[in-house]
Amino acid sequence: MNTNKGSRRKGYDRVARLNRVLREVVAEEIEREAEYDDRLVLLTVTEVAVDPDLKRARVFFASLPQDKAEALAEVRVSIQHKVATEMRMKRTPLLSFELDPSLEAGEKIDAILRRVAKTGQEADGD
């Protein structure tokens, strides 16, 4: 009974470890690719989420300006190859790149806070 719980924990640790290592490898390869493609400059890998079955990995990124998706799509195969050579896995997860949604949510919260602060200042001025 206890072994099942332990194996679930071990599986989680493996995926968490893969997320960390994959984020490092992808970030390093994007940095290398940026030497040849200016569109990849000012791009940060914020998180990697590997599916539990290890078949896919969602790579979340942040960038200014937010026009990096096309460049990442063009170098995905190269990055995928680098991941395959750097990591010792039976199967390399298929990479997909997505703009990190938490950044947009943070920007919305900042805008709301600025409006609230401005409204508060206007009320104090009355």
Spatial separation of the C-alpha atoms in residues 79 and 47, rounded to whole Å? 16
Which of 59, 46, 50 lies closest to 103 in space, CA to CA? Answer: 46
Residue ranges covered by each domain of the chain: 2-100
pLDDT tens over the chain, length 126 residues: 444 555 555 656 889 999 999 999 999 999 999 999 999 998 999 999 999 999 999 999 988 766 788 899 999 999 999 999 998 888 899 999 998 888 778 888 888 888 888 887 777 766
Spatial separation of the C-alpha atoms in residues 116 and 114, rounded to whole Å? 5
Taking the model in full, what pTM does it have?
Answer: 0.73
CATH number for the segment(s) 2-100: 3.30.300.20
**Residue 72, φ and ψ in degrees, nearest 5:** -65, -40
